C-alpha cells in the first residue's frame, strides 16, 4: 500500500497543506485560495481536503501528519523574551498569553480536533522545527545531490537564519542566528516604516527600491545610519540588532516611531499616503543592506560546506533582486530557490523532512526539480467551466483545437487587450506562473499603467514580470540559466534598451515610470531590470504554445504575466473566482480551458455590495 504523509502549516500566516505519496509531491495548496481570505492563518481544512482527495487517500490511511514547527519551543521563546525585556511588553504579554495558554500551548490537542474534520483515524503526529522545514523544502525538491542550504526569514521558534548542508536524504544545520536578531524582521520594520503591511508588503518595498537614486548622498548617509545605529553586521553575515529601536520583541508594532523618525529625519509614512523620494531612497538603502547580508551569508555557507550549489528558502529568499545579484556574483555554480519559500512552503518541507529524515527514505534528485513547475493545486475541466458560464448566462466561444485558440488569443494580445488566462492546476506559492495569470503584450507603452490602475487596482509604481520562452530568454535579458519560478531579477538586454533622458534619476516617480526604457516597456522596471519567468514546453506546454504563437504571428516571444486577482484578493482558484474577477475589472478577455469569453459580449455585471470592501488592502 502506498505511504502518504500530510504536511501542514497553520496559525501564523499563509496556512497550507501538502501531500507526499511514496515521497513524491502529489498536491499542495494554500488555504487562502479556498477561503478567499488573503494570507489566511486558519487551519487549512479546505487545502487538506483537496490534497487528500487529489491523491485518493483517506485521512486514516496516512502514515503521518507533519506540522511545520515546534509550538512548545516557540512558547518558550515568547516567555523568555518577555522576561528578558520586562517590564516592557506588558500589553503584548496580556494580549498573547491567553491565546497561547488556551489554544497554542495545547497544539497537539487542537490539531487532533481539526483532524476530526478530515475523517476518522489518528496518524502519527510529527513536529519538525520551523527552519528544518524550510531547509527540507529547499533541498529535497532541488536537483542537487549535495548543496549548501540557506534559510532566512522573520523567526521560527528561536532561529531566524540557518546555514546547513544537504546530502542524500540528510540535512545538517551548521549555524543558527537567533531571535530577536533577524534580517527578515529588519526588512519588515522598514516595510512598516514606509507604510506597507508587514508579512504582505515586503515585495512592494523591494519594487520601490529601484526608484531610489543610487547616486544620492541621502542613500549613502542612510546606509551609514543603519550600520551605525540599527545593526552590527559581521563578516560572516551574522548580525545583532539594536533593540532600543525595535518594538516587535514585546510590543504590538515593529519599531519605536520617535527613534526612527529622529534617526532618518522623516516621519513614518502612513498607509495609502503619497510616496516621496525619501521613501524610495530609504527602500533602496535597506535593499542594499539586505543584499550585503545575503552575500555574506552565502560566502559563509560556501566556506562551511564546501558545496558548489546553494538552495534557499524562508521569506527573504523571495527577494528576487538579491537572488539575481547573488547568482551573478558567482559564489556558487548554481542556486535553486524553493518557489513557495515562505510559510506556505513549510507544509511541504515538514512532509519532506518526515519522509526523508524521519522515515530515513532514499532521495532521488529530479530534473529540472521535483516541484512539477509548482502546478500542484486544483484543476477544473470543461464541465465546471460550462457550469459557471450557464450560471451567469455568459456567452463564449469554445475552440476545438488549441492552436486555433492560441492564434485568437495572440491576436487579441497584440492589439493591446488584457487577457485572463486560466488553465490546468493552480500554482502553489505566491507566484502566478501561467495557469492563473493575467496577460498582456509587453510592447504596448500603456500596458503597465492599464494593468495596475484599471485591472489590479493597485499602486501605479509596481512592476510587472515577463514570461519568456526559455529558448528566447537570452534575446531579451542578461540571463544565462532557466528561471521557471519568477524568483530572479536580471537586466534587460542592452540591445533592447533606449537611451535615458538627462536627469533621469532626479525625475519624479511617475515621470520616470512612464519613460520608454526599452522595446518591452511594460516589463522593464525603472532600473532597466525584470523579474523573469522562463517558460518551458516540458513543464507547461499550453502556456508555452500560447507565447510561441505570439512569437510566430507577431514577433514577440514573451508576455506580461501578473497574478489573476485584484489588490487584496488571493489568486483565483475556481472558474467562478475567475469569471467574477474578470467582470469586476476592465479585463478585456477571459480564457478558461478552451473557452474564450469577450468582455464586450458579456451581460451587465452587478453586485449588491461594493466588492472592493470585501478585500482588505494589502
Task: Give me the percent of the chain exceeding a pLDDT of 90.
Answer: 85
pLDDT, mean of residues 275-281 = 96
Distance between CA 133 and CA 7 in Å, rounded? 10
pLDDT of residue 110: 84
- Per-residue confidence at 105, pLDDT binned at 50, 70, 90? low
**364-391: average pLDDT:** 97
CATH number for the domain formed by residue range(s) 183-336? 3.30.420.40
Residue of higher predicted confidence among 419 and 83? 419
- Residues with Cβ within 8 Å of residue 99, at least 6 apart in sequence: none
In this predicted structure, the answer to whether residue 617 has a pLDDT above a threshold of 80 is no
* Tally: H helices and E strands in the chain: 20, 21
Residue, of 75 and 606, whose pLDDT is higher: 606
pLDDT tens track for 431-466? 999 999 999 999 999 999 999 989 998 998 999 999
Q: Which pLDDT score is estimated for 495?
A: 97
When the pLDDT of each residue in the chain is averaged and rounded to a whole number, the result is 94
According to CATH, the topology of domain 382-613 is DHBP synthase (3.90.870)
Which pLDDT band holds residue 104 (cuts at 50, 70, 90)?
low
Residues in Cβ contact with 398 at an 8 Å cutoff, skipping those fewer than 6 apart: 382, 594, 595, 596
Confidence of residue 287 (pLDDT cuts 50, 70, 90): very high
Residue 85's pLDDT band (cuts 50, 70, 90): low
Q: What are the pLDDT digits (tens) for 552-579?
A: 999 999 999 999 999 999 999 999 999 9
> Which pLDDT tens digit goes with each residue over 175-205?
999 999 999 999 999 999 999 999 989 999 9
pTM: 0.95
For residue 609, the model assigns a pLDDT of 66
Q: Which CATH superfamily is domain 4-140+345-365 in?
A: ATPase, nucleotide binding domain (3.30.420.40)
pLDDT greater than 70 at residue 608: no
Beta bridge partners of 170: 167
Residues of the chain with CATH 3.90.870.20: 382-613
pLDDT above 90: residue 357: yes
pLDDT value at 93 more than 70:
no
The whole-number average pLDDT for the span 79-93 is 66
Which residues belong to the active site?
13
Read off the pLDDT of each residue in 12-30 and give the average, rounded to a whole number: 96
- Check residue 249 and give its pLDDT: 84
For residues 271 and 192, give the distance between their C-alpha atoms in angstroms, rounded to a whole number.
9
Q: Average of pLDDT values for 369-397?
A: 98
pLDDT at residue 615 in the model:
81
Q: Where in the chain is the domain with CATH 3.30.420.40?
A: 4-140+345-365, 183-336
| CB-CB contact of 214 with 284 (8 Å) | yes
Distance CA 528, CA 216 (A): 18
Closest CA to 80 of 189, 186, 178: 178
> What residues have CB less than 8 Å from 580, skipping those under 6 apart?
none
Residue 273's pLDDT band (cuts 50, 70, 90): very high
Q: Is pLDDT above 90 for 106?
A: no
**Mean pLDDT across 119-128:** 95
How far is residue 431's CA from residue 562's CA, in Å, rounded to a whole number?
8
Select from 132, 180, 188, 159 the least CA-distant residue to 352: 132
Report d(CA 218, CA 305) in Å as an integer: 38
Q: What is the pLDDT of residue 83?
A: 62
Q: Provide the grid cell at 326.
A: 547573488
Averaged pLDDT for residues 209-219: 94
Residue 79: predicted pLDDT: 67
pLDDT above 80: residue 103: no
Tell me: pLDDT of 144 over 70: yes
The pLDDT of residue 74: 74
Q: Which percentage of the chain shows pLDDT scores above 70?
A: 94
Whether 616 has a pLDDT exceeding 90, the answer reads: no
Q: Tell me what pLDDT residue 94 has.
A: 66
CA-to-CA separations, 373 to 19, 109, 338, 377, 538, in angstroms, rounded: 16, 36, 11, 11, 9
Amino acid at each position: 500500500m502506498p505511504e502518504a504523509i500530510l504536511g501542514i502549516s497553520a496559525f501564523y500566516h499563509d496556512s497550507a497543506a501538502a501531500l507526499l505519496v511514496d515521497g513524491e509531491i502529489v498536491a499542495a495548496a494554500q488555504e487562502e485560495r479556498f477561503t478567499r481570505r488573503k494570507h489566511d492563518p486558519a487551519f487549512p481544512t479546505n487545502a487538506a481536503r483537496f490534497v487528500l482527495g487529489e491523491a485518493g487517500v483517506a485521512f486514516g490511511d496516512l502514515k503521518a501528519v507533519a506540522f511545520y514547527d515546534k509550538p512548545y519551543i516557540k512558547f518558550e521563546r515568547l516567555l523568555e523574551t518577555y522576561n528578558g525585556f520586562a517590564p516592557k511588553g506588558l500589553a503584548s504579554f496580556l494580549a498573547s498569553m491567553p491565546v497561547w495558554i488556551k489554544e497554542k500551548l495545547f497544539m497537539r490537542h487542537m490539531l487532533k480536533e481539526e483532524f476530526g474534520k478530515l475523517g476518522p483515524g489518528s496518524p502519527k503526529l510529527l513536529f519538525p522545527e520551523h527552519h528544518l522545514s524550510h531547509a527540507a523544502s529547499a533541498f529535497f525538491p532541488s536537483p542537487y545531490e549535495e548543496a549548501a542550504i540557506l534559510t532566512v526569514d522573520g523567526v521560527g521558534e528561536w532561529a531566524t537564519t540557518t546555514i546547513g548542508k544537504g546530502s542524500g536524504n540528510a540535512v545538517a544545520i551548521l549555524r543558527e542566528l537567533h531571535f530577536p536578531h533577524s534580517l527578515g524582521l529588519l526588512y519588515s520594520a522598514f516595510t512598516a516604516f514606509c507604510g506597507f503591511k508587514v508579512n504582505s508588503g515586503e515585495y512592494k518595498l523591494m519594487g520601490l527600491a529601484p526608484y531610489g537614486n543610487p547616486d544620492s548622498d541621502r542613500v549613502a548617509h542612510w546606509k551609514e545610519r543603519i550600520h551605525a545605529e540599527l545593526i552590527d553586521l559581521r563578516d560572516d553575515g551574522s548580525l545583532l540588532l539594536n533593540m532600543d529601536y525595535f518594538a516587535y520583541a514585546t510590543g504590538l508594532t515593529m519599531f519605536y516611531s520617535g527613534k526612527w523618525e529622529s534617526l532618518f529625519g522623516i516621519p513614518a509614512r502612513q498607509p495609502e499616503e503619497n510616496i516621496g523620494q525619501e521613501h524610495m531612497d530609504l527602500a533602496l538603502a535597506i535593499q542594499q543592506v539586505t543584499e550585503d547580508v545575503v552575500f555574506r551569508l552565502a560566502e559563509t555557507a560556501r566556506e562551511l560546506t564546501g558545496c558548489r550549489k546553494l538552495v534557499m528558502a524562508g521569506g527573504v529568499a523571495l527577494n528576487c533582486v538579491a537572488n539575481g545579484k547573488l547568482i551573478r556574483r558567482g559564489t556558487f555554480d548554481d542556486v535553486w530557490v524553493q518557489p513557495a519559500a515562505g510559510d506556505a512552503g513549510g507544509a511541504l518541507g515538514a512532509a519532506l523532512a518526515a519522509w526523508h529524515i524521519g522515515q530515513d527514505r532514499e532521495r532521488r534528485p529530479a530534473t529540472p526539480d521535483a516541484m512539477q513547475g509548482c502546478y500542484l493545486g486544483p484543476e477544473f475541466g470543461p464541465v465546471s467551466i460550462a457550469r459557471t458560464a450557464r450560471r451567469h448566462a455568459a456567452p463564449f466561444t469554445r475552440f476545438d483545437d488549441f492552436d486555433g485558440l492560441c492564434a485568437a488569443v495572440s491576436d487579441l494580445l497584440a492589439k493591446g487587450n488584457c487577457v485572463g488566462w486560466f488553465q490546468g492546476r493552480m500554482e502553489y506559492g505566491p507566484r502566478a506562473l501561467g495557469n492563473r495569470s493575467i496577460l498582456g503584450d509587453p510592447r504596448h507603452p500603456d500596458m503597465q499603467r492599464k494593468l495596475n490602475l484599471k485591472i489590479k487596482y493597485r499602486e501605479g509604481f509596481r512592476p510587472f514580470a515577463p514570461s519568456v520562452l526559455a529558448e528566447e530568454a537570452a534575446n531579451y535579458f542578461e540571463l544565462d540559466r532557466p528561471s521557471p519560478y519568477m524568483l530572479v531579477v536580471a537586466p534587460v538586454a542592452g540591445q533592447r534598451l533606449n537611451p535615458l533622458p538627462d536627469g533621469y534619476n532626479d525625475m519624479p516617480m511617475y515621470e520616470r515610470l512612464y519613460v520608454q526604457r526599452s522595446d518591452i516597456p511594460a516589463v522593464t522596471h525603472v532600473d532597466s531590470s525584470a523579474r523573469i519567468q522562463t517558460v518551458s514546453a516540458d513543464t507547461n506546454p499550453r502556456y508555452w504554445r500560447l507565447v510561441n504563437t505570439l512569437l510566430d504571428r507577431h514577433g514577440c516571444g514573451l508576455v506580461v504575466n501578473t497574478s489573476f486577482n485584484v489588490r487584496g484578493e488571493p489568486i483565483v482558484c475556481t472558474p467562478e473566482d475567475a469569471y467574477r474577477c474578470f467582470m469586476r475589472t476592465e479585463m478585456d478577455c477571459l480564457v478558461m480551458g478552451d473557452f474564450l469569453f469577450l468582455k464586450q459580449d458579456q451581460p451587465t455585471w452587478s453586485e449588491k455590495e461594493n466588492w472592493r470592501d470585501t478585500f482588505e488592502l494589502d
